[in-house]
Structure 1
Amino acid sequence: MVCKNDFNREWLIKKFEEIRKRILNAISQLDDEQLNWRPHESSHSISTLIRHIEGNIKERISKGILHQEIQRNREEELTHVFVEKSELEKICAERLQFVIDTIRNISDETLEQKQIVRSRERTNLEMLHQCAAYFSKHMGQIFTSQNNV
């Protein structure tokens, strides 16, 4: 049986798999110091960007789509702290796999349900597409940082 959101579901799965693969590849090429390096104090390190992606997954997927009781502290995730390479690899692999598994397993009805984001109502499907675009933007920042370390 073909569901009406099969195309979107497959596109999103492939996109998040690509994001996971490319970020993990970037991480694999750097050491702990490089992953936590910032060109200046007001910049974000790769480790901060990955923690920020994780925060977005908690907020938009766990809380927004799956209605889990999750507390996100955006200010804390954007505060520079040293994170080891192995932890960043784990965060990236596990959290993006969680997104992929969620997309694979939720119903069309859930994809069409709405959540409020920044005072605007969006379907969960729209939110997933927005996350794919947002994470791609951060992936670009990671690649730029990778080339500068």
Structure 2
Amino acid sequence: MSNIEKEYLTVVNWQFKHFKERAEKGISQLTEEELHWKPNEESNNIAILIKHLSGNMHSRWVGFLTTDGEKTYRDRDSEFVDDTESKEWLMQFWEEGWELLFQTIQALKPEDLHKTVTLRQEPLSVIQAIQTEIAHISYHLGQILYIGKQIKDKEWDILSIPKNGLSKKTIKSNLLYKGR
């Protein structure tokens, strides 16, 4: 077995940490009321996106190698109902989901990447399942940040490279990733 599997797990772990950090920096800029704002009735608000991502992680990462990623206890439809949960509750549910994800990723061994798991009774390679989660989280992370920026407008603290070039924080973050 080559080192590519170890490298992949290192990169995946870093990528998930980056997603979590970026989302939390955006969410921290918003009030509880702003988490529940949405531009129209058909749109999701940030609270719904937090519930959905957290519900997904609570399902996918429990028994990742041994059980179907879509658990029978998950009520996916309820994740898209805004019950005006408190910011504290949302962030606790969020944190629990991420904890499950990180525990699972960190417990994976390089040889596990060659195994097959199931999602909604469909077989997937472990790499496919991880990549599906990366795509899913990044998709909704973009929505969270876009909505936050719409709410805050000019008060929004930019979390990526500013229009006028690299920030010191971005340069440091990139150097830390490359230096692992």
| Band of TM-score, shorter chain | 0.7 to 0.9
**Alignment check: 8 A CA contact 2:67 2:117 kept:** no
Residue 91 of structure 2 corresponds to 89
CA distance 1:119–1:105, shift in 2 (3 Å): closer
**In 2, distance between residues paired with 1:72 and 1:109?**
29
The separation in 2 between residues aligned to 1:24 and 1:132, in whole angstroms, is 17
Q: Does 1:67 align with 2:63?
A: no
CA distance in 2, matches of 1:70, 1:107: 27
Larger Rg: 2
> In the TM superposition, what is the alpha-carbon distance from 1:4 to its structure 2 partner?
5.2
Q: Which protein, 1 or 2, shows the higher relative CO under an 8 Å CA cutoff with sep ≥ 6?
A: 1
Tell me the equivalent position of 1:102. Answer: 104
Deviations 1:89-120 (A, max 9, x none): 22333321321221111233433322233564
Aligned residues: 149
Q: Displacement of 1:50 after TM fit? A: 1.0
Match of 2:28 in 1: 28
3-state SS of paired residue (2:30) = coil
| Alignment match, 1:58 | 58
1:132/1:74 CA distance change after superposition, 3 Å: same
The sequence identity of aligned pairs, in percent, is: 24
Q: Unaligned stretches of 5+ in structure 1?
A: none
Q: Deviations over 1:63-104 (max 9, x none)?
A: 543538661111111122212112222233332132122111
